[in-house]
Amino acid sequence: MSDPFSSPPPPPPSNNSSSFSAGVVPCGNGVRFGALLLDSLLFVVTCGIGWLIWDIVLWQQSTSPAKKMLNLKIVDINTGAPASMVQMLLREGLGKIVLSAITGIVGIISAILILVVPSRQGVWDYISKTTVVREG
């Protein structure tokens, strides 16, 4: 039996022929969950402000501080193209910062989703129609 944390999952079945057809293969759940934990740690270590500035600067590169360190990229789930600035604003700004500030439950739900759904999408990924892949 292979290690579920080291290999990427197969793409989920799709009703839309363009979904995941662009070669979008999400990174493994262990890497994805590790990036979530690393982003959380970096947020605490930088007192939030440092992480927020670093995060916003990295939006143009379709990544976040932890994902940059782990060589991961945020991509459009349908096309495989790097996430646009609008998608990054929805994902990071609305999904992570605003919703997580209102209720911490979003982070917990996202952590569970990242571990169990084949697309490895957190709540913020569903909002922005993105997923996380290894940068090639």
> What's the pLDDT at 21?
43
> What value does the mean pLDDT take over residues 17-39?
77
Number of domains into which the chain is organized:
1
Q: In this structure, is residue 80 part of a structural domain?
A: yes
Measured over the CA atoms of residue 43, residue 105, residue 25 and residue 17, the dihedral's sign is: negative
Q: In this structure, is residue 18 part of a structural domain?
A: no
Q: In this structure, is residue 8 part of a structural domain?
A: no
Q: Cα separation of 13 and 102, whole Å?
A: 33
Q: Which of the pair, 21 or 6, is modelled with greater confidence?
A: 6
Q: Which domain holds residue 79?
A: 29-134
Q: In this structure, is residue 2 part of a structural domain?
A: no
Q: Which of 65, 63, 119, 117 is nearest to 91 (CA)?
A: 63
Q: In this structure, is residue 16 part of a structural domain?
A: no
Q: In this structure, is residue 96 part of a structural domain?
A: yes
Q: Which of the pair, 10 or 87, is modelled with greater confidence?
A: 87
Q: In this structure, is residue 1 part of a structural domain?
A: no
Q: Which of the pair, 49 or 16, is modelled with greater confidence?
A: 49
pTM summary value: 0.76
Start-end of H helices in 13-98: 29-45, 49-58, 65-69, 85-88
